[in-house]
Chains A and B, each alone.
Chain A
Amino acid sequence: GAVVSQHPSWVICKSGTSVKIECRSLDFQATTMFWYRQFPKQSLMLMATSNEGSKATYEQGVEKDKFLINHASLTLSTLTVTSAHPEDSSFYICSAGTGGPSTDTQYFGPGTRLTVL
């Protein structure tokens, strides 16, 4: 149980275009989903927290107009990188949690490799 999927697993796009990444919890309902960014040989950096039906909470320094997050249902969150540039190239990972005081384990997706040319 507790499987999180991401689509696509990798994407290459031209500079200036927008890219959408989907994150789905396959066998549980996720009240909260998280989006991380990871550069090579570095740790995971939290970008934003999204709760179903409400606006995402962005971490300091993350441009909300550039990284649009939509958590439309309890099983789906999307991250759209708008007007992508080469510096946005990175490994994007989502995670999902079931919420609650004793069920705060996060389950991670397999990640999406974004390359902007």
Chain B
Amino acid sequence: GENVEQHPSTLSVQEGDSAVIKCTYSDSASNYFPWYKQELGKGPQLIIDIRSNVGEKKDQRIAVTLNKTAKHFSLHITETQPEDSAVYFCAASIQGYQKVTFGTGTKLQVIP
């Protein structure tokens, strides 16, 4: 089955700096890669996703890149703000099957 590794497990940045979270996956059949933000005591919230036919996707301060050959994808948050502090999960799935495999999570702390 699919295995998703995520690094780093914790990340502290100064407000205004950029944050990068990296993930690798094992199943070459995976072609849908969502990213979720989870605040304490709440369910995960989809923040951005990317499909295998695209190498990069951007939504305001958030961007995701995908390298299918290397089987890794990354989340980039620019101009970080304190409200970006949360746990971020990457995930991978095969389009149409919906079963998602999650990474281990990254706790992001943005220091004011």
Q: Determine whether A1 belongs to the interface, using a CB cutoff of 8 Å to chain B.
A: no
Q: Contact: B89 with A43, CB < 8 Å? A: yes
Contact of B96 among A4, A6, A100, A109 (CB under 8 A): A100
Q: Contact: A111 with B43, CB < 8 Å? A: yes
| Segment from B13-21, B64-72, B73-81, B98-106 that makes contact with A | B98-106
Q: Determine whether A102 belongs to the interface, using a CB cutoff of 8 Å to chain B.
A: yes
Determine the chain B residues whose CB is within 8 A of the CB of A6 once the complex forms. 43
For A42, A43, A110, which residue has the most chain B Cβ atoms within 10 angstroms? A43
The contact size tier of chain A is 20 to 34
Taking CB atoms and an 8 Å cut-off, the chain A residues in 96-117 that contact chain B are 97, 99-102, 104-111, 113
Q: Contact: B95 with A108, CB < 8 Å? A: no
**What count of chain B residues pass the 8 Å CB interface test?**
23
Bitwise, A51-69 to B at CB < 8 A (1) or not (0) is 0000000000000000000
Instruction: Give chain A nearest CB distance to B99 CB in angstroms.
Output: 6
Q: Contact: B93 with A44, CB < 8 Å? A: no
Q: Taking CB as reference atom, which chain B residue is nearest A101?
A: B96
Q: Determine whether B25 belongs to the interface, using a CB cutoff of 8 Å to chain A.
A: no
Contact of A44 among B96, B99, B102 (CB under 8 A): B102
